[in-house]
């Protein structure tokens, strides 16, 4: 007799186009709400008073710093990737200006036509929702043109991802961006052939926080690791959007049982090398979530090939949501929890860490530049003044550096 009563079964398309449907049982004790618990008034308040901005701007100081802690191999690969990816990001940036090449069919809803084409191209998850401007970045608000969002997730290579953290896994991470950037441009061209406009929101030049829209489109729920957990590959996917004026019908958010599941599982929280994940959910900008501690995450991520241990050790990523939920229904247990197979990982120069074992870091390991570049420069200069060891040359250098930063254009492009 199963340990848990099944409350509902979620049926989703198979992992690959043409695969049979995929049924996920959601037990009674994991049911919370379709999508995520949120307070719309609070979301609006925070958007109005504390609007979101791209981390590539808000945290530009550490985006520059990471290059100084990369291994030579990662440094070289990032340079190669950025060069290869630039034409795709450039093309996405102007994609919303391109006129349609075809004539629309009056009155036809385009949802399933576009979903089918996206799946044929290879996107693993495809959903439709309103582009929610609450989550738009300030610097991108005027750039965003169309109101309907097509949410697109491309699965990242399975085998390479299981080697996290490693250079091989970074090939999968950044390589997936390059593939999906090209795929989205093709999908946008197809939308124009159908007579509509399409704007590609690059995964490397994000216009907004994308996960809330993926949740609203029913493609997954927010996991304790701060990532979208979708049915087939958990967070082992790269997310991007196309916005369009094509007439579409929005999908609905779904309760996959992930919120309560993550509270019971906690493998990512327990295994995070930097202790950056937090067990308890908090209300953050009007949404109830497990809020990651950025300052504990970023140094580990930068130093150890993108880290992503939280992705690797998630049972939904490793086994898929169906066997994980089936196991929970049957026994009340979390598949893989407590085993070397799911929880073990190696960190370069530190060795292997099995279940219950975590690496140790010096306190200074977590010292890194914060905020925008000008904010960090000012912070450093203030410290010098407080220590009364700022010379006239230091003042000149501060002014010169500040002028240089202010002369640079801010960019939303980067290593999301």
Which residues would be at the binding site for other proteins (CB under 8 A)?
157-159, 162, 315, 318-319, 323, 327, 331, 333, 335-336, 339-342, 344, 352, 354
- For residue 305, CA distances in Å to 69, 298, 367 come to 10, 11, 18
Q: Which is nearer to other proteins, 145 or 322 (CB)?
A: 322
Find the shortest distance in angstroms from Cβ 345 to other proteins: 10
Rounded alpha-carbon distances, angstroms, from residue 254 to 217, 233, 295, 323: 8, 16, 32, 18
**214-245 burial code (b ≥16 CB/10 A, e <16):** bbbbbbbbbbbbbbbbbbbbbbbbbbbbbbbb
Q: Which residue, 102 or 354, is less far from other proteins as judged by CB?
A: 354
- Preceding amide of 250 cis, omega within 30: no
CB 321 within 8 A of CB 256: yes
Decide whether 196 or 353 has the Cβ nearer to other proteins.
353
Helical pair 294-303 and 60-69, crossing angle rounded to 10 deg: 30
Nearest of 215, 206, 217 to residue 240 by alpha carbon:
206
Instruction: State the nearest-atom distance from the C-beta of 66 to other proteins, in Å.
Output: 30
Please report how close the Cβ of residue 14 comes to other proteins at its closest, in angstroms.
14
**Which of residues 115 and 238 has its CB atom nearest to other proteins in the complex?**
238
Cα gap 179→85, rounded to integer Å? 9
Q: How far is the CB of 323 from other proteins (least distance, A)?
A: 6
| Residue 137 or 345 having the CB closest to other proteins | 345
For 47, half-sphere exposure in the C-beta direction (CA atoms, 13 angstrom radius) is 17
> Smallest distance from the beta carbon of 124 to other proteins, in angstroms?
14
* Token pair recorded at residue 294: 């950025």
Q: Rounded to the nearest whole angstrom, what is the least distance from the CB of residue 106 to other proteins in the complex? A: 44
Query: Which token pair is 98?
Result: 């391109």
CB of 232 to other proteins, least distance (A): 11
Nearer to other proteins, 53 or 157 (CB): 157
Choice between 138 and 162, CB closer to other proteins: 162
Helices (H), 247-320: 258-265, 267-271, 294-303, 309-312, 315-319
> β-pairing, 221-222 with 351-353?
unpaired
Give the span between the Cα atoms of 224 and 267, in whole angstroms: 9
Which is nearer to other proteins, 158 or 284 (by Cβ)? 158
Nearest approach in angstroms of CB 230 to other proteins is: 16
- DSSP secondary structure of 310-359: HHHT-HHHHH-HHHHHHHHHHHS--TTTT-HHHH-EEETTTEEE-TT---
Q: Closest distance between other proteins and the C-beta of residue 23, in Å?
A: 14
Nearer to other proteins, 295 or 346 (CB): 346
């Amino acid at each position: 007799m199963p340990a848990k009563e099944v409350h509902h079964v979620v049926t989703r398309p198979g992992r690959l186009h043409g695969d049979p449907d995929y049924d996920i049982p959601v037990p009674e004790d994991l049911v919370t709400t379709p999508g995520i618990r949120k307070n719309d008034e609070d979301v609006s308040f925070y958007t109005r008073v504390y609007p979101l901005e791209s981390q590539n701007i808000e945290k530009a100081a550490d985006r520059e710093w990471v290059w100084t802690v990369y291994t030579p191999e990662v440094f070289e690969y990032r340079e190669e990737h950025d060069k290869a990816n630039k034409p795709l990001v450039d093309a996405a940036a102007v994609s919303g200006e391109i006129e349609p090449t075809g004539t629309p069919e009056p009155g036809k809803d385009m949802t399933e036509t576009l979903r089918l084409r996206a799946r044929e191209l290879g996107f693993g998850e495809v959903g439709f929702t309103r582009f929610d401007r609450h989550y738009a970045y300030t610097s991108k608000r005027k750039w965003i043109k169309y109101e309907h969002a097509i949410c697109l997730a491309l699965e990242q290579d399975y085998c390479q991802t299981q080697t996290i953290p490693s250079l091989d896994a970074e090939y999968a991470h950044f390589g997936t961006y390059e593939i999906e950037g090209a795929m989205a441009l093709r999908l946008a061209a197809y939308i124009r052939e159908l007579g509509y406009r399409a704007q590609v929101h690059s995964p490397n030049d994000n216009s907004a926080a994308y996960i809330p829209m993926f949740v609203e489109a029913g493609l997954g729920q927010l996991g304790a690791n701060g990532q979208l957990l979708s049915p087939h590959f958990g967070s082992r996917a790269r997310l991007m959007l196309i916005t369009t004026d094509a007439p579409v019908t929005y999908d609905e958010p779904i309760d996959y049982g992930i919120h309560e599941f993550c509270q019971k599982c906690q493998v990512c929280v327990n295994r995070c090398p930097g202790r950056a994940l937090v067990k308890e959910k908090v209300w953050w900008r009007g949404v109830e979530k497990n809020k990651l501690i950025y300052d504990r995450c970023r140094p580990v991520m930068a130093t150890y090939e993108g880290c992503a241990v939280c992705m690797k050790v998630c049972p939904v990523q490793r086994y898929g949501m169906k066997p994980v939920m089936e196991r929970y229904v049957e026994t009340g247990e979390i598949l893989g929890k407590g085993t070397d197979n799911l929880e073990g990982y190696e960190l370069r120069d530190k060795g292997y860490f099995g279940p219950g074992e975590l690496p140790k870091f010096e306190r200074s390991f977590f010292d890194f530049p914060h905020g925008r570049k000008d904010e960090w420069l000012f912070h450093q200069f203030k410290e010098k003044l407080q220590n009364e060891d700022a010379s006239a040359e230091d003042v000149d250098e501060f002014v010169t550096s500040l002028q240089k930063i202010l002369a640079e254009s801010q960019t939303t492009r980067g290593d999301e």
